[in-house]
Each structure stands twice: as C-alpha cells, then as structure tokens.
C-alpha cells in the first residue's frame, strides 16, 4: 500500500527528475498523453498544463494514489485518472506520449514491457521513462542486509533477497532501438539535501515513502516490529549519511530514457 502523504514529503526532490525527463520530450501538440504509475498526480497535472490540447490520463495500481490525485484535482478535470496495472497497458493509435516516472523499478520483466510499448507506438510518438538506479547505494544495501540477518530473516528474508537492479542507460538505449525508436538515455546523480528535523534520520524518512514500504507491510502484523526494524537500520544510515549542520547529503542516482518511434515496424 502506498501512502501519498509520506511519498509527497519530498515532492520537490522527487519531482525534479520528472521535469528533467520531460525536457527531452519535444512533442508539440500530442493528442493523448498517458502517465503510467502516476502516483498522487501532482506531476501528471504538469503534463496537462504543458499540453492543454491533449487528453491526459494517469494510471496507477494504488487506489490510495488515485484517490489522492482525484481529490487534489477536485474530481473529474483535465486529467482522467484510473486504477490499473501498467503491465496491462498498450498504447492506442492516438497516444503520442507515454511517460512513466519512478515506476518500472517495481515491475519485474520491465525490459519486455518497454520493448512492447516502443513497438506499439505510432511513428513520431514518444516514450519517456525514469527509474532510480540506487540499488547499490549504502542505504539500499543496508536495508537489504538487515533483512537477511538472523534477527529479521524469518519475516523479511524474501525482501532481502530481492536484488533487482534496473537497466543502465546503455541497456535502455538498446531496448529502445530494438523497438524501432531513437534513443536518448543518460544518468544523473542528484545530491538531495535532506533537512535534519530532530526526528528519525532523514534518509530513513525518505525510504519510508518508497523502498521500505514492502518491509513495513511485511511487519504490519507483528506489534512493535516496524519500530524495532527502523531502530536497527538507523545507525547504518547515520554512519553512511552523516549530518552537515542541519542537512544530510543524500546522493541519488537516476536513469533516464527517452525514445521517439521512427519506423512502422522495428
């Protein structure tokens, strides 16, 4: 389950890669634009503002996220939101832009999906994706290693063993070209300056909105377990990300890929 409020705590940091991604999508008057895994809709709304003549839709498998997006829009509005699984999605002939931001890292078999979407696009249409490429950063490593310790492995071993890393820019370039698209791919490491609040370590707060969700869900039935897990994880985060005055620098790598369909069939 996603918690929109927790996720939006770092809305600015999470929104910047979306804007950097969309800066490379040069569609002028798209007919339909779809945001796959749209989350709470704050970024999808910027697509409707950029292309007011387009039909913009947002799809997400989380009812909580879609409810938040609809509530913030005030009901039906410029973006048509619906609950759905991105794995079932195929673009229709009027879709000129597909965006999927910070979603595919949660989707096993994403390579096949990216290829399928690329091949289904009409010539001239765009596919833009961004995924966090932080599988090996100290925070994510510490999270996984803790799950595999004797104290936690009975409840969290499976999560610790999930070592799914995302493709890099070169792999996405190959996937896009194989799907009949041009490829514009790159990576960026942002250094987020997370405020020290006197509460939990700021990287723990960040992870609670995303990577720690499966851990929290797995511990939900065991009273006190989530708090105990966080207490065990926090020292490793404090070691890896020390405070500098009232901020913690949190380097965060992201991988970007933008394709434009060139040929009818690859």
Ligand X SMILES: C[S@@+](CC[C@H](N)C(=O)[O-])C[C@H]1O[C@@H](n2cnc3c(N)ncnc32)[C@H](O)[C@@H]1O
Under a CB-based contact definition with an 8 Å cutoff, are residues 107 and 161 in contact? Answer: no
Q: Which of 33, 95, 107, 211 binds ligand X (CB under 6 A)?
A: 107
In the complex, least distance from residue 198 CB atom to ligand X, rounded to whole angstroms: 26
210 class by beta-carbon count within 10 Å (0-12 exposed, 13-18 middle, 19+ buried): middle
What binding mask, one character per residue, do residues 61-90 give for ligand X by CB under 6 A, x or -? xx--x-------------------xxx---
Q: Which of 32, 57, 73, 101 binds ligand X (CB under 6 A)?
A: 101
In the complex, least distance from residue 101 CB atom to ligand X, rounded to whole angstroms: 4
What binding mask, one character per residue, do residues 43-62 give for ligand X by CB under 6 A, x or -? x----------------xxx
In the complex, least distance from residue 65 CB atom to ligand X, rounded to whole angstroms: 4
Provide the token pair at 135.
């599988």
Report the alpha-carbon distance of residue 192 to residue 24 in Å, rounded. Answer: 22
In the complex, least distance from residue 83 CB atom to ligand X, rounded to whole angstroms: 8
Using the rule CB under 6 A, is 208 a contact of ligand X?
A: no
Using the rule CB under 6 A, is 3 a contact of ligand X?
A: no
- CA angle at 172 for the pair 168 and 174, rounded to the nearest 5°: 120
Report the alpha-carbon distance of residue 34 to residue 58 in Å, rounded. Answer: 6
Place of tokens 């039935």: 221
In the complex, least distance from residue 217 CB atom to ligand X, rounded to whole angstroms: 13
- With respect to ligand X, which residue has the nearer C-beta, 2 or 190? 2
Q: Which of 10, 18, 81, 117 binds ligand X (CB under 6 A)?
A: 18
Instruction: Give DSSP secondary structure letters for 91-139.
Output: --TTEEEEEEES-GGGSTTHHHHHHHHHHHSPTT-EEEEEEE--TTSHH
Name the residue among 22, 254, 18 with its Cα closest to residue 126. Answer: 22
Using the rule CB under 6 A, is 112 a contact of ligand X?
A: no
Using the rule CB under 6 A, is 97 a contact of ligand X?
A: no
Name the residue among 18, 20, 19, 170 with its Cα closest to residue 101. Answer: 18
Report the alpha-carbon distance of residue 250 to residue 75 in Å, rounded. Answer: 36
How many chain residues are in contact with ligand X, going by CB under 6 A? Answer: 20
The contact set with ligand X (CB under 6 A) reads 2, 14, 18, 37-39, 43, 60-62, 65, 85-87, 101-103, 106-107, 210
């Amino acid at each position: 389950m996603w918690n929109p409020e927790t996720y939006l705590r770092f809305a600015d940091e999470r929104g910047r890669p979306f804007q950097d991604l969309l800066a490379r999508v040069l569609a002028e008057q798209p007919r339909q634009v779809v945001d796959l895994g749209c989350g709470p809709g704050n970024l999808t709304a910027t697509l409707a503002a950029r292309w007011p003549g387009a039909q913009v839709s947002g799809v997400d498998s989380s009812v909580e996220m879609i409810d938040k997006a609809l509530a913030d829009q005030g009901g039906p509005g410029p973006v048509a939101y619906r609950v759905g699984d991105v794995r079932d999605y195929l673009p229709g002939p009027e879709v000129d832009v597909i965006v999927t931001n910070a979603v595919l890292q949660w989707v096993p078999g994403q390579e096949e999906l990216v290829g399928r979407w690329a091949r289904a696009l009409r010539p001239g249409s765009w596919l833009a994706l961004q995924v966090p490429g932080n599988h090996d950063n100290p925070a994510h490593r510490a999270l996984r290693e803790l799950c595999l310790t004797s104290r936690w492995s009975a409840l969290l071993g499976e999560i610790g063993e999930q070592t799914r890393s995302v493709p890099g820019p070169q792999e996405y370039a190959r996937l896009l070209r194989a799907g009949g698209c041009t490829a514009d791919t790159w990576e960026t490491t942002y250094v987020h300056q997370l405020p020290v609040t006197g509460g939990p370590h700021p990287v723990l707060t960040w992870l609670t909105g995303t990577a720690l969700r499966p851990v929290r869900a797995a511990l939900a039935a065991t009273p006190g377990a989530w708090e105990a897990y966080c207490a065990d994880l926090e020292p490793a985060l404090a070691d890896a990300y020390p405070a500098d005055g009232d901020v913690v620098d949190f380097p965060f790598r992201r991988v970007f890929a933008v394709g434009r369909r060139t040929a009818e069939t690859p």
